[in-house]
Amino acid sequence: MPDQSSITLDIPDTELCREAWRYAQTIEATALANHSIRAFYFARATGEASGLKAGADYDEELLFVGSVLHDLGLTEEGNGADRFEVDGADLAVRFLREHGMSSDRIEVVWDAIALHTTPGIPNRKRPEIGLLQAGTFIDVFGQRTDELAPGLAEAVHAVYPRLGIEQAIAETIIDQAVARPSKAVPGTFPADLVHRMRPSAGLPSWDDMFATSAWQGIA
Residue 152 and residue 169 in one domain: no
pLDDT reported for residue 143: 87
Calculate mean pLDDT across residues 98-124: 97
Q: Is 219 within a domain?
A: no
Buried-exposed string 92-128: b where 16+ CB fall within 10 A, e elsewhere: bbebbeeeebeeeebebbbbbbbbbbeeeebeeebbb
Domain's final residue, options 162, 181, 201: 162
46 Cβ partners below 8 Å, 6+ apart?
A: 131, 134, 135, 138, 144, 147, 148
Per the structure, the complete domain to which residue 191 belongs is given by: 164-213
For every residue of 70-116, which 3-state class applies, written as one string?
CCHHHCCCCCCCCCHHHHHHHHHHHHHHHCCCCHHHHHHHHHHHHCC
Residue 176 and residue 209 in one domain: yes
pLDDT reported for residue 3: 53
Cα angle value 135/139/144 (rounded, 5°): 70
Q: Is 44 within a domain?
A: yes
Residue 88 and residue 49 in one domain: yes
Domain's final residue, options 162, 182, 204: 162
Q: What is the CATH number of the domain that holds 107?
A: 1.10.3210
Residue 205 pLDDT greater than 90, yes or no = no
CA distances from 204 to 115, 193, 195, 200, 201 (A): 22, 13, 9, 11, 9
Residue 50 and residue 100 in one domain: yes
Q: What is the pLDDT of residues 155-189, one digit of tens each?
A: 999 999 999 999 999 999 999 999 999 999 998 99
Residue 155 and residue 112 in one domain: yes
Q: Is 115 within a domain?
A: yes
Residue 76 and residue 174 in one domain: no
The span from the first CA to the last CA of the chain, in angstroms, equals 65
Q: What is the pLDDT of residues 90-103, one digit of tens each?
A: 999 999 999 999 99
Q: How far apart are CA 96 and CA 80, in angstroms?
A: 18
Q: Percentage of the chain with pLDDT > 90?
A: 84
Q: What is the band of 1 on the pLDDT scale with cuts at 50, 70, 90?
A: very low
Q: What is the band of 37 on the pLDDT scale with cuts at 50, 70, 90?
A: very high
Q: Is 2 within a domain?
A: no
Residue 69 and residue 151 in one domain: yes
Q: Regarding predicted confidence, which is higher, 214 or 72?
A: 72
Report the predicted TM-score, pTM, of the whole model to 2 decimal places.
0.93
Residue 102 and residue 170 in one domain: no
Residue 145 and residue 43 in one domain: yes
Residue 131 pLDDT greater than 80, yes or no = yes
Domain count, the chain: 2
DSSP per-residue letters across 38-74: HHHHHHHHHHHHTT--BTTTB-HHHHHHHHHTTTGGG
Residue 151 and residue 199 in one domain: no
Residue 118 and residue 204 in one domain: no
Q: How far apart are CA 216 and CA 219, in angstroms?
A: 9
Residue 158 and residue 177 in one domain: no
Q: Is 86 within a domain?
A: yes
Mean pLDDT, the chain, rounded, equals 94
